[in-house]
Chain A
């Protein structure tokens, strides 16, 4: 019987992270990009939880606390990012990130 260990969690986390990065890089829709960011954050959160479960002393819950922060952070970030997106849409009439390249100026 396969014992589920830290490495499995980390592998899942890495896959999640990679998927998130892939979404962030490749998708042109800004909302999809935000979804990718959520995947990355979740990959990080999963890692925190996994490390806390396998590496920290039993009484400590630092990883879980960090994860909750991350979730809160993600919510806040999503709210701000969506607000930015709305503004962006108002300006450019699109949510295509390729069109929003004014940062180079």
Chain B
């Protein structure tokens, strides 16, 4: 096992050890250790140190890891021979894994530290850390595995941790309901995800019977083979897109994409550090990560040549992401709850990432994921700090807090600037990359349809700056909404403000990873040189025959590789051309958004402009009802589901139960009959034989009656018989 793999596995196992320790303590002592917070924090701190060490030794120097470290062993096989289903324990460590490990462990560690202060007075305090450890383990496991089935296992594990933590305050009915909602909605996507996995497994098993076919490498290879006109997908061309969409459905629920985004805002019932860790920075990004890993599958047949801009799966992804970004962005405009506003903003940003993948840019989507994790975690922890101070999540209870909470305000402001896409902050570069790719996609397609993702994303860019600064202004500026609460508000202790400062700094410098090497936007980018499908897929698969002779192509701001296909070359050219205008547009978005928010929420704070314009007021009603998506589910989908369930129940009771009962009754009759046969025939034979033996005994016994005279009688008869015999014999 290579050393890198060992360290990566150690990173994964440390939080698990913390969980096991706590669990074992609970098993033997009937309660969790009071120092569970220390165990968990130290464990995740260890993971953090190891992740950073990997980052500084493997990713930072040179060009990063040129090829991934791969290790695999057979976990189990069901069946044997060519029909066996084999599940391998696949581990892969590449640039993306290490970067994501760093993101997860940094945010997780800071959230642990923050929670030790934030959650300290809550009941079940040790249990909270137990869940956090289990979540950290699952999330890290999800990142190091390179097997779709194992990824799914960890996927479900993070899902169940999310369920535990959303419902952490389960005595509150809304928290219990929210956790159930998250769980049930996620089942929909997970069922589709599983269907996709089975489809891929079934089709790939024809090419490699009896092997672990669900590893990423096998899936990539099969797609490359499809591009060459061979391999298992031949004859199943249309199923590539179907499998891609099924797999993407897993991302739709986990990453809260329209129309299954409804669980994420409700998940804000969970403790705020959980919202920061799970529902902003890491778990919800797992869907984006997964789609990025499955990018060749989504690209389909054109992956080898770079002609994948018409891939149906990518179209679905791009449009879904765009719709989610805009829709959630607009809903965020009217939220009065600080955390819910941030939740819709998370949805919207996740939409950006998904859309970036959909328009063919793995690195732009992942870069936005990377930067977003820091500033969104910072925003959530900041909101937690505010909630801690005023004991309310409603923004009407806040206002003017910047005087009381300077550190929280500063970090919140930095993160808002980052998410809005202000230059010099990390969000500027990542958002600009996403928008640039979307614009290039539009130019490339030369059609109205092709411009839709960019149009959605651009509109969202204006909204993002606006709604984020609306949250900021309503919370920290202006006059206090509730003087009593305002008077009691205070800056949070260092254990809470410390993580805020670290994340605030990261929200600025994380973007530095994408700075061009030579301060020239045309040349290499640190992040995009390390995280792109050329390095992560094509170089990793260089030894596979299917990838031989394949021109590496990269979809980002870089120059295309020499000899790349016409589509790639032209796409790069477009990306290069739109780069400038997009940058100006996103600058304008920041200025207009922030300015608009300032005008409405600081300058004219008490004037409701929207109410004076009837169409806007009506639209606001629509937004407040969340576009009636939840209403539709509650009023239409759920009753229909209940009707179907009732129907199924009726059928079950009358038909299925009837059949079962009839079979049972027939069984009873047969058994009665068999019982009679048993009693009469079998027992009869047994009893008869014994009775006949008894009778024979009794008969023989009757001769021995103790009367001498009878004995003599027998003697005489015997004698007589002997005489007769003697006479007859002679």
B692 interface contact, C-beta 8 A: no
Asked if B712 contacts A102 (CB within 8 A), the reply is no
B708 interface contact, C-beta 8 A: yes
CA distance A104 to B706 in the complex (A): 4
Q: Smallest CB–CB gap between A80 and chain B, Å? A: 15
Which residues of B lie under 8 Å from residue A33 when comparing CB positions? 708-709
Asked if B707 contacts A101 (CB within 8 A), the reply is yes
B716 interface contact, C-beta 8 A: yes
B704 interface contact, C-beta 8 A: yes
B705 interface contact, C-beta 8 A: yes
Which residues of A lie under 8 Å from residue B716 when comparing CB positions? 21, 25
Binary interface encoding of chain A residues 33-57 relative to chain B, with 1 for a CB under 8 A from any of its CBs, else 0: 1000000000000000000000000
Which residues of A lie under 8 Å from residue B704 when comparing CB positions? 104
Asked if A25 contacts B709 (CB within 8 A), the reply is yes
Which residues of A lie under 8 Å from residue B709 when comparing CB positions? 24-26, 33, 97-98
CA distance A42 to B667 in the complex (A): 81
B669 interface contact, C-beta 8 A: no
Asked if A102 contacts B707 (CB within 8 A), the reply is no
Interface centre among A21, A26, A97, A104 (most CB of B within 10 A): A104
Asked if A105 contacts B712 (CB within 8 A), the reply is no
B391 interface contact, C-beta 8 A: no
Which residues of A lie under 8 Å from residue B705 when comparing CB positions? 101, 104
Q: How many residues of B contact A (CB 8 A)?
A: 9
CA distance A41 to B710 in the complex (A): 19
Asked if B707 contacts A25 (CB within 8 A), the reply is no
Asked if B706 contacts A97 (CB within 8 A), the reply is no
Asked if B708 contacts A97 (CB within 8 A), the reply is yes
A59 interface contact, C-beta 8 A: no
Question: Which residues of A, 90-105, contact B by the 8 Å Cβ criterion?
Answer: 97-98, 100-105
Binary interface encoding of chain B residues 695-730 relative to chain A, with 1 for a CB under 8 A from any of its CBs, else 0: 000000000111111001100100000000000000
CA distance A98 to B712 in the complex (A): 13
Q: Smallest CB–CB gap between B97 and chain A, Å? A: 98
Which residues of B lie under 8 Å from residue A26 when comparing CB positions? 709
Q: Smallest CB–CB gap between B349 and chain A, Å? A: 108
Which residues of B lie under 8 Å from residue A103 when comparing CB positions? 706-708
CA distance A104 to B704 in the complex (A): 6
Which residues of B lie under 8 Å from residue A97 when comparing CB positions? 707-709
Residue of B nearest to A102 (CB): B706
Asked if B706 contacts A25 (CB within 8 A), the reply is no
Q: Smallest CB–CB gap between A2 and chain B, Å? A: 26
CA distance A25 to B704 in the complex (A): 15
Q: Smallest CB–CB gap between B721 and chain A, Å? A: 15
CA distance A24 to B708 in the complex (A): 9
Asked if A101 contacts B706 (CB within 8 A), the reply is yes
Residue of B nearest to A99 (CB): B707
CA distance A102 to B707 in the complex (A): 8
Which residues of A lie under 8 Å from residue B708 when comparing CB positions? 33, 97, 100, 103
CA distance A103 to B712 in the complex (A): 14
CA distance A105 to B708 in the complex (A): 13
Asked if A98 contacts B707 (CB within 8 A), the reply is yes
Which residues of A lie under 8 Å from residue B706 when comparing CB positions? 100-105
CA distance A24 to B713 in the complex (A): 9
CA distance A7 to B180 in the complex (A): 122
Q: Smallest CB–CB gap between B716 and chain A, Å? A: 6
Q: Smallest CB–CB gap between A68 and chain B, Å? A: 26
Among A25, A100, A101, point to the contact of B712 (Cβ < 8 A).
A25
Binary interface encoding of chain B residues 388-427 relative to chain A, with 1 for a CB under 8 A from any of its CBs, else 0: 0000000000000000000000000000000000000000
Q: Smallest CB–CB gap between B592 and chain A, Å? A: 125
Binary interface encoding of chain A residues 1-40 relative to chain B, with 1 for a CB under 8 A from any of its CBs, else 0: 0000000000000000000010011100000010000000
Q: Smallest CB–CB gap between B479 and chain A, Å? A: 121
CA distance A10 to B705 in the complex (A): 34
Residue of B nearest to A24 (CB): B712
Q: Smallest CB–CB gap between B324 and chain A, Å? A: 105
Q: Smallest CB–CB gap between A77 and chain B, Å? A: 14
Which residues of B lie under 8 Å from residue A25 when comparing CB positions? 709, 712-713, 716
CA distance A35 to B712 in the complex (A): 15
CA distance A68 to B466 in the complex (A): 152
Q: Smallest CB–CB gap between A103 and chain B, Å? A: 4
Asked if A21 contacts B707 (CB within 8 A), the reply is no
CA distance A104 to B716 in the complex (A): 19
CA distance A77 to B706 in the complex (A): 21
Beyond the given pairs A26-B709, A101-B706, A105-B706, 14 more chain A to chain B contacts, judged by CB atoms under 8 angstroms and listed by A's residue number, are: A21-B712, A24-B709, A24-B712, A25-B709, A25-B713, A33-B708, A33-B709, A97-B708, A98-B709, A100-B707, A101-B705, A101-B707, A103-B708, A104-B704
Binding site for B on A (CB under 8 A): 21, 24-26, 33, 97-98, 100-105
Interface pairs (19), CB distance under 8 Å: A21-B712, A24-B712, A25-B716, A26-B709, A97-B707, A97-B708, A97-B709, A98-B707, A98-B709, A100-B707, A100-B708, A101-B705, A101-B706, A101-B707, A103-B708, A104-B704, A104-B705, A104-B706, A105-B706
Binding site for A on B (CB under 8 A): 704-709, 712-713, 716
Closest 4 CB pairs of A and B: A104-B706, A101-B706, A103-B706, A101-B707
